[in-house]
Amino acid sequence: MDFANQDSAKEIAARVVQAYENKTPLAIAGGGSKSFLVNAAAENAVELPVSGHAGVLSYEPTELVISARAGTKITELRETLSAKGQHLPFDPPAYTSADTLGGVIACGVSGPARPYSGAARDFVLGTQIVNGRGEILKFGGEVMKNVAGYDVSRLQVGACGSLGVLLDVSLKVLPEMQSRETRCFELTANTAIGFLEQLARKPLPLAASAVLPAGVADKVSVLVRFAGSSAAVQRAVQDEGGDVLAEEQQFWSSMRDLSHSFFQSPDGSGNLWRITAPAALPLDDFIEAIPGLQPQNCLVDWGGGLRWVRSAASSDEMQEAVASLAGQVVQCGPLGVQAYGKRQPLSRSTETMLRLQQRIKDSFDPAGILNPGVFGYEV
């Protein structure tokens, strides 16, 4: 399908053409709900509002594909799919009521299901974008398997709008899980991650896992979510035991949307840090490596791959520590207080990678007008 004829798409493309000719930097503005995950745009950047380009374009449940304009609200997508018993398996967050599909894809955010169901990138089938020359380009498509041309659609995921303005996105969707249950296990910090690794080796219907401070010294709560057919979930909880977590849906939503109390009441200087790290890294080693980290200020998601930390450490200290763990860090500030995040600069990559990324950026955006500064190319 060709959606380029949409007036709002043409309007966006025209704005980019103009900016390209005048070398005006643009700050792509969607719902504004994920600014704490990205750097502030260059000061002279002019806002390019895109959330008006919204609406579901096509959805056929038996094809397992939904296509929507980038300004479509995540909450609207969820409702549309849920009405047909389907969902987005990467379970994207809605931090506010304004979160858009474009923002989720551009920032590449996935919910707690990520390690077991896949990341945002894994479900993108096609995109239509405006590149930095103002050209409307279409990559991928609306079918499950497609290897024609380079996979530029998935390259957009997490690129923070630095390679193009997202117009439309097609995603693979799947049937909703028939049944869900969450079990809680009390463990020590040095055994929690190994416990999750053991579970992942078994053929269980795992859907999410987290480690929370238990409020008791030396103890943590390990939460494991099983989801799938009722038969499989029943079998799994029977075999694995643990305590039942009531209202499990609310709990995982609060992890996904960062509405859990852990995120709402940061201690100390109030800095919240989002750290992705090798999932296998034991929790006690991690706590020791992060400057000034108290066990009650660390929350683990993604089976160990994502670790939220509250700490008063400086940016440099934290980046240094996380780099030594082969991880990545974004300083998110106290939520709702600090408008923009601070990403680990790209300069921590190798020279070869740095040059390559800059050349890729140039190939899409030769004038460097798309979201300058947001992603951290300027090093």
Partner 1 sequence: MHSPQTHQGNSSSADLQVDKARQQRRLELAHELQSLVPEKAILSRPHELTPYESDGLTAIKQTPLLVVLPETVAQVQAVMRWADRQEVPVVARGAGTGLSGGASPHPDGILLGLAKFNRILELNPGGGYAVVQPGVRNLAISEAARPHGLYYAPDPSSQIACSIGGNVAENSGGVHCLKYGLTVHNILSLTVVTASGELLEIGGESPEQNGLDLLALFTGSEGMLGITVEIKVKLLPVPPLARLVMATFSSVEDAGAAVGEVIADGIIPAGMELMDNPAIRASEAFAQCGYPVDAEALILCELDGLEEEVESQIARVEEVFKKCRAETQHVAASDEERLLLWKGRKSAFPAVGRLSPDYYCIDGTIPRKALPQVLASMDKMSKQYELPIANVFHAGDGNLHPLILFDANKPGELERTEELGSKILQLCVEVGGTITGEHGVGLEKINEMCVQFNSATIEQFHALKAAFDPKGILNPGKAIPTLQRCAEFGAMHVKGGKLPFPELERF
Kindly tell me which residue out of 245, 340, 349, 368 binds partner 1, with binding defined by CB under 8 A: 349
- Asked if 372 is part of the footprint of partner 1 (rule: CB under 8 A), the reply reads no
* Dist CA 209 CA 214 (whole Å): 15
- Asked if 17 is part of the footprint of partner 1 (rule: CB under 8 A), the reply reads no
Nearest CA to 38 out of 366, 307, 367, 371 is that of 371
Q: Three-state SS string across the chain, please? A: CCCCCCHHHHHHHHHHHHHHHHCCCEEEECCCCCHHHCCCCCCCCEEEECCCCCCEEEEEHHHCEEEEECCCEHHHHHHHHHCCCEECCCCCCCCCCCCEHHHHHHHCCCCCCHHHHCCHHHHEEEEEEECCCCCEEEEECCCCCCCCCCCHHHHCCCCCCCCCEEEEEEEECEECCCEEEEEEEEEECCCHHHHHHHHHCCCCCEEEEEEEECCCCCEEEEEEEEEECHHHHHHHHHHHCCEECCCHHHHHHHHHCCCCHHHHCCCCCCCEEEEECCCCCCHHHHHHHCCCCCHHHEEEEHHHCEEEEECCCCHHHHHHHHHHCCCEEEECCCCCCCCCCEECCHHHCCHHHHHHHHHHHHHHCCCCCECCCCCCCCC
Tell me which residues in 91-130 interact with partner 1 (CB under 8 A). Answer: 108, 114-115, 118-119, 121-122
- Asked if 235 is part of the footprint of partner 1 (rule: CB under 8 A), the reply reads yes
- Asked if 350 is part of the footprint of partner 1 (rule: CB under 8 A), the reply reads yes
Kindly tell me which residue out of 5, 23, 201, 246 binds partner 1, with binding defined by CB under 8 A: 201
Kindly tell me which residue out of 205, 266, 333, 341 binds partner 1, with binding defined by CB under 8 A: 205
- Asked if 231 is part of the footprint of partner 1 (rule: CB under 8 A), the reply reads yes
Are 348 and 3 spatial neighbours (Cβ–Cβ below 8 Å)?
no
Nearer to partner 1, 323 or 337 (CB): 323
- Asked if 273 is part of the footprint of partner 1 (rule: CB under 8 A), the reply reads no
Instruction: Return the sign of the alpha-carbon dihedral for residues 205, 206, 207, 212.
Output: positive
- Asked if 241 is part of the footprint of partner 1 (rule: CB under 8 A), the reply reads no
- Asked if 85 is part of the footprint of partner 1 (rule: CB under 8 A), the reply reads yes
- Taking the complex as a whole, the smallest distance from the CB of residue 304 to partner 1 amounts, in Å, to 9
Kindly tell me which residue out of 75, 190, 191, 234 binds partner 1, with binding defined by CB under 8 A: 234
Nearest CA to 110 out of 37, 56, 182 is that of 37
Q: Could you tell me which stretch among 23-31, 35-43, 288-296, 343-351 binds partner 1 (CB under 8 A)?
A: 343-351
Nearer to partner 1, 51 or 371 (CB): 371
Count the site residues for partner 1 by CB under 8 A. 88
- Asked if 161 is part of the footprint of partner 1 (rule: CB under 8 A), the reply reads no
- Taking the complex as a whole, the smallest distance from the CB of residue 340 to partner 1 amounts, in Å, to 18
- Asked if 327 is part of the footprint of partner 1 (rule: CB under 8 A), the reply reads yes
- Taking the complex as a whole, the smallest distance from the CB of residue 33 to partner 1 amounts, in Å, to 19
- Asked if 362 is part of the footprint of partner 1 (rule: CB under 8 A), the reply reads yes
Kindly tell me which residue out of 17, 346, 367, 368 binds partner 1, with binding defined by CB under 8 A: 346
- Asked if 148 is part of the footprint of partner 1 (rule: CB under 8 A), the reply reads yes
- Asked if 243 is part of the footprint of partner 1 (rule: CB under 8 A), the reply reads no
Nearer to partner 1, 51 or 364 (CB): 364
- Asked if 149 is part of the footprint of partner 1 (rule: CB under 8 A), the reply reads yes
- Asked if 368 is part of the footprint of partner 1 (rule: CB under 8 A), the reply reads no
Q: Could you tell me which stretch among 91-99, 231-239, 253-261, 282-290 binds partner 1 (CB under 8 A)?
A: 231-239
* Dist CA 208 CA 116 (whole Å): 7
- Taking the complex as a whole, the smallest distance from the CB of residue 62 to partner 1 amounts, in Å, to 4
Are 345 and 334 spatial neighbours (Cβ–Cβ below 8 Å)?
no
For residue 312, what are its two tokens?
């008063």
- Asked if 278 is part of the footprint of partner 1 (rule: CB under 8 A), the reply reads yes
- Asked if 196 is part of the footprint of partner 1 (rule: CB under 8 A), the reply reads no
Q: Could you tell me which stretch among 97-105, 310-318, 332-340, 357-365 binds partner 1 (CB under 8 A)?
A: 357-365
Nearer to partner 1, 144 or 337 (CB): 144
